[in-house]
Amino acid sequence: MASFSQGGGVLKKRSKTEGTRLKVGLGACGIAAGAMNVFEEARKTVEENDLPIRVERTGCIGMCHHEPLVEIEEKDGGRILLGEMTPEKIAPIIAQYMENGHIDPDNIVAGTDYITENDPFFSKQYRIVLSNCGTINPESIDEYRETGGYEGLARAIREIDPDEIIREVLDSGLRGRGGAGFPTGLKWKFTKQAAGSPKYVVCNADEGDPGAFMDRSTLEGDPHSVIEGMTIAAYAIGASDGYIYVRAEYPLAVSRLKTAIRQANEAGLLGEHILESDFSFDIRIKEGAGAFVCGEETALLASIEGERGLPRLRPPFPATKGLWGKPTNINNVETYASVSRIIQNGASWYSGFGTEKSKGTKVFALAGKIRKGGLIEVPMGITLKEIIYDIGGGIKEGKRFKAVQMGGPSGGCIPESLLDTTIDYDSVTKTGAIMGSGGMVVMDEETCMVEVARFFLEFTQNESCGKCTFCRIGTKRMLEILERITNGLGREDDIERLETLAQSVKSGSLCGLGQTAPNPVLTTLRYFRDEYEAHIKEKRCPAKQCRGLISYRILPEECVGCGVCLKNCPVDAIRGEKKQVHEIDPKKCIKCGICLDSCRFGAVEVR
Amino acid sequence: MDSTLKNVFDSFQGKKEELIPILQKVQERYGYLPEDAMLEVSRFARVPESTVYGVATFYAQFRFTPIGENRIMVCRGTACHVKGSVGILEEIERKLGIKEGETTPDGRYSLETVACIGCCSLAPCVMINKKVHANLTPQKVAKLFKKD
Ligand SMILES: Cc1cc2nc3c(=O)[nH]c(=O)nc-3n(C[C@H](O)[C@H](O)[C@H](O)COP(=O)(O)O)c2cc1C
Ligand code: FES
């Protein structure tokens, strides 16, 4: 069995190395920030100067706020992480490092000799699912195997009886990471016991929560861990075919998965007679086509079958009647990736993390008005406050925290007063939000909570498949009310109307989409009712966001007449001579806020 | 049937479960789903044409009209929303003189919105032809179009 070194601190010294390596974080986010150019420049520098250093690619290490990221793995296994890299910076850094081992500390964001056990970004995290993400080359099966990858599968096939694997997953306490938190081992047991064959194993990689990217990063950074988890599931359950349903907007994840599947096949770890046993298992990729409801398991299965993605009534659950009516086990990406580590390291190792009812770790995508946004993995039981302030570094630009959104369109907004809430399924549910799949969007004083509720309703209303009347029409009515309130036309009884509608939509919908769609409205009504009242009664938006309720003006005593606002105003609503006080024409102003953002003298006021 | 379509069909067996992947491939080749192709797809997959339309209209990915040379997708996810993606979308609409869902008359640009690109911690984001542009501001939008 592999040692405890699986996972652990984010940047650990490596015990085994093969000389100096330079690794560029080439996840979709790194590439967006320009990492591809850095990668090419580094390659060129090394080739042209024939330097003894290998340039490689890796996935997302999670410090998205410092992208593009480059890691130097030193000869002795030490690791140095360089942030905000550019093609211009990287060549001289390589040259100097190769000459005398020195790197200008300004470029270093972290490193084994530089941090810092006490940097809470690292010390409060524990990486199990993400242990390889951003450290290995995701396109190399060998690197995955060097970290102990596929040992779990080998152990499963050679040493353990399928029922015992299921027991081990049960004992680990792992609960589904796709949102609802159903015990994974139990689901496997049901699928195994169900009559019918063949049986299927499906991976839900639809990642519908708009504002989340945990599954994308896992698939891009460590695709083999998901394939291994699925194969273990198939062996335990007795399935011979698997599908990964991936969201349409993730082309890089699809291409990495394809590579990984091919490699696993070639290595005899997938396909016919896996590891020379009687067990055979194939995995196919299905790309989604842009429908949020297809993240719901029964709709997802309909979509794989080539149908419109309409949810089906449960029970029967997919475990008994799934794909083509056959027993089907469906789990989320992170669930399968966790399974690989559990079988590799043992159930008791895993259940050593977390709380009594929520074991292990959870990956979160931290975004919004947070200073250090990124991909993090924390032990269950940590508080929201620790995540937001210690790991995330608090709110951007010294603004005041207002809420954190968890669970996306099915979830809710948790206010400051509840920041001591611990991360476990039951505590998060108590707040009215849900654990969800791991999206965490932080909001500050400048976010209008009524507008956020409107935003989510617009989303669910759009994505409702239309099968259930309450979901289709009810969400539309709720959206109309929210639009009216944010436009300054709210009526006295609108809050009650929203509450009544919310209950009907919840109870009158077949699937989770409708059943949870009112949650963003209900939680904002619960914690931010005063904002709703200010909009309705005082025709005022406290966050100064709702355009129907605000106006912009230039403060004559602050304006120096620099003309920047005039130049930037997209609708020519600003007048004024150079060096003279400028003025906004309220009739032309569209309240886009560009003048406010571009004025360096604080001369623009919103009211 | 034209050779492009034949090419697409060659990599499939003509089973119903392949309907979505077939439509995806057809759209990849033509940029949209042409009417004639829909009929051929229905024959090939042995399902009624109404089923092909039923499936194609259900999923947001499929289009029935051609798109511009450059495809702009503005993220409207939660993280991008709280970081001002509305302003980005409006600025692009003004710059190009078209609204979301439209194509410029010269056929150079199509403007769409998307639920989330998955680069949420670099919000707000816009994807132009598979390349993601992150940390945008309305002021930076102008630069996006200078390069192409
Ligand atoms: C509207 C809706 C959207 C969903 N979207 C996702 C998703 O994007 N990814 C996911 O893993 N689960 C999603 N789920 C949950 C799945 O239905 C299912 O519970 C999950 O895939 C089971 O896997 P798990 O037990 O490993 O969590 C969604 C559910 C609903 C109702
Ligand atoms: S919210 Fe825009 S990239 Fe995810």
CATH number of the structural domain spanning residue A577 = 3.30.70.20
Residue A485 sits in a domain whose CATH number is: 1.20.1440.230
pLDDT over threshold 50, residue A12: yes
Judgement on whether residues A191 and A90 belong to the same structural domain of the protein? no
Nearest to A28 among B87, B115, B119 (CB): B119
Do A506 and A594 belong together in one domain?
no
Kindly report the three-state secondary structure assignment for every residue of A334-384.
HHHHHHHHHHHHCHHHHHCCECCCCECEEEEEEEECECCCEEEEEECCCEH
d(CA A422, CA A428): 7
What is the whole-number distance in angstroms between the Cα of residue A286 and the centre of ligand 1?
16
**One domain for residues A72 and A104:** yes
A126, part of any domain: no
Co-location of A387 and A439 in the same domain: yes
In this structure, the residues whose C-beta lies within 6 A of any atom of ligand 1 are A 176-180, 182, 204, 206-208, 293, 295-297, 330-332, 335, 437, 511-513
Identify the weakest region by mean pLDDT among A124-128, A138-142, A164-168, A418-422: A124-128
Does the CB of B120 have a partner CB in chain A at under 8 Å? yes
A153 and A298 share a domain? yes
DSSP for A396-442, written as a single string: GGGPPEEEEEESGGGSEEEEGGGTT-BSSHHHHHHTTS---SSEEEE
Do the chains contact at B87 and A307, CB–CB below 8 Å? no
**In this structure, what CATH number is given to the domain that contains residue A313?**
3.40.50.11540
Q: Which atom of ligand 2 is nearest to the CA of A441?
A: 1
Domain annotation covers residue A478? yes
Residue A356 counted as domain residue: no
Whether A464 and A415 map to the same domain: the answer is no
Which residue in B78, B86, B93, B127 has the most chain A C-beta atoms within 10 A of its own C-beta, making it the best mutation to test that interface? Answer: B78
Mean pLDDT along residues A87-109: 92
Chain-centre distance of CA A35, in angstroms? 20
Instruction: Give the domain-ending residue among A324, A351, A378.
Output: A351
User: Which atom of ligand 1 has the smallest separation from the CA of A204?
Assistant: 11
Residue A48 covered by a domain: yes
Q: Is the ipTM of this complex over 0.90?
A: yes
Which domain does A530 fall in, by range? 449-537
| Same structural domain, A286 and A241 | yes
For residue B148, name the pLDDT band (cuts at 50, 70, 90). very low
Do A471 and A514 lie in a common domain? yes
Same domain flag for A582 and A502: no
**Domain end among A351, A380, A415:** A351
- Identify whether A546 is part of a domain: no
Q: Provide the token pair at B19.
A: 């309907």
Domain co-membership, A429 together with A472? no
Distance CA(A130)–CA(A140), nearest Å, equals: 16
Q: What is the pLDDT of residues A393-421, one digit of tens each?
A: 999 988 999 999 999 999 999 999 999 99
CATH for A403: 3.10.20.600
Last residue of a domain, one of A351, A379, A401: A351
What CATH number did the domain enclosing A65 receive? 3.40.30.10
Find the CB nearest A405 among B24, B58, B78: B78
Which helix (H) or strand (E) covers residue A65, if one does? none
Mean pLDDT of chain A: 93
Instruction: Name the phi and psi angles at A207, rounded to 5.
Output: 30, 70
pTM for the model stands at 0.94
Residue A123 belongs to some domain of the structure: no
Chain A residue whose CA is closest to B95: A570
Whether residue A404 sits in one domain with residue A493: no
pLDDT digits (tens, 9 = 90+) for B78-95: 999 999 999 999 999 999
Q: Per the structure, how many domains does chain A have?
A: 5
Residue A460 lies in a domain: yes
- Within-domain flag for A511: yes
- Whole-number pLDDT of residue A249: 85
- Return the structure tokens found at A347: 């159930």
Are A71 and A23 in the same domain?
yes
Domain annotation for chain B: domains and CATH numbers: 3-58 (no CATH), 70-144 (3.40.30.10)
| Summary count for chain B: helices (H), strands (E) | 7, 4
